[in-house]
Amino acid sequence: MSILAVERLDVRHGLLQAVRDVSFSVAKGEIVALVGANGAGKTTLLRALAGAHVPAGGSIRFNDRDVTRVPSHRRSAMGIALVPEGRRLFAQMTVDENLLLARAAGRTGAWTLEAVIAAFPNLEKRRKARAGTLSGGEQQATAIGRALITNPELLLLDEVSLGLSPLAVDRVYASLATLMSSGTTIILVEQDLSRALKVADRVMCMLEGRIVLAGRARDLAREQITDAYFGLSRGRGSAA
């Protein structure tokens, strides 16, 4: 059963068409890695799915409801959560305050404040610290926890490892392991191809705003993905 269906989506930044005629679907509980070089359109696509960027054309359906023109705060209440690139925390607010703000989405479920702290134990001693004083790994954990407190059905993770040390990335992914095995539907933008292939059920590669390769992670050779990533060839695969 598809939780998300995207049909012929076009997204623009002024005269620049950042996403071009993109169509795909995501099954409930699936983990999809979205890969591609900088400027390929990955972040713009995630923002369009979250309601932070209004598409110029096409449609987005979530749980069989057309949400193409639904604003971001309403999509959050419906069960879509975005962890944006750059984290975008409130620097002068504490970890707890940043996390509790997300409860305004009004969704209840297993992800409470205490559940998030248990999932990201490195935050326990930092709960009363201002977000601006946290390390990169702690900020990323807080950003992911903020999304989880909305108890999303669809979690959009944009570059969770960007700018982090290898040790911090390992800690973030270790904390995400339980989430990834819990049945939450995830679309993950990740520059680290090896890490993406380890966690994803399916891979979609974007190039110049289009999906040029899509398929199950276990069925795609690394060379196919890297060729598509750099535009060396047009890989074969189904985008649905």
Flag whether 35 is in a domain.
yes
Q: What is the pLDDT of residue 233?
A: 61
The helix/strand/coil state of 116 is helix
Flag whether 237 is in a domain.
no
Q: What is the pLDDT of residue 180?
A: 81
Residue listed under structure tokens 């005629």: 21
Q: What is the pLDDT of residue 105?
A: 67
Flag whether 168 is in a domain.
yes
Gap between the Cα atoms of 71 and 55, Å rounded: 12
Flag whether 79 is in a domain.
yes
Gap between the Cα atoms of 73 and 63, Å rounded: 17
pTM: 0.90
The helix/strand/coil state of 9 is strand
What is the full per-residue pLDDT of the chain (240 aa) written as tens digits?
A: 799 999 999 999 988 999 999 999 999 999 999 999 999 999 999 999 999 999 999 999 999 999 999 999 999 999 999 998 777 898 999 999 999 988 876 688 888 999 999 988 889 999 999 999 999 889 989 999 999 999 999 999 998 888 788 888 888 888 788 788 878 899 999 888 888 888 999 999 999 999 999 999 999 999 999 999 888 865 444 444
Number of domains in the chain: 1
Cα-Cα-Cα-Cα torsion 160, 26, 47, 184, nearest 10 degrees, comes to -50
Flag whether 14 is in a domain.
no
Domain extent, residue 135, equals 30-56+68-200
The helix/strand/coil state of 83 is strand
Any residues with CB less than 8 A from the CB of 67 and at least 6 apart, and which? Answer: 51, 60, 61, 75, 78, 80
Flag whether 10 is in a domain.
no
Q: Cα 136 to the chain's mean position, in Å? A: 18
Flag whether 15 is in a domain.
no
Flag whether 41 is in a domain.
yes
**CATH number, domain at 170?**
3.40.50.300
Does the CA dihedral 193-197-201-204 come out positive or negative? positive
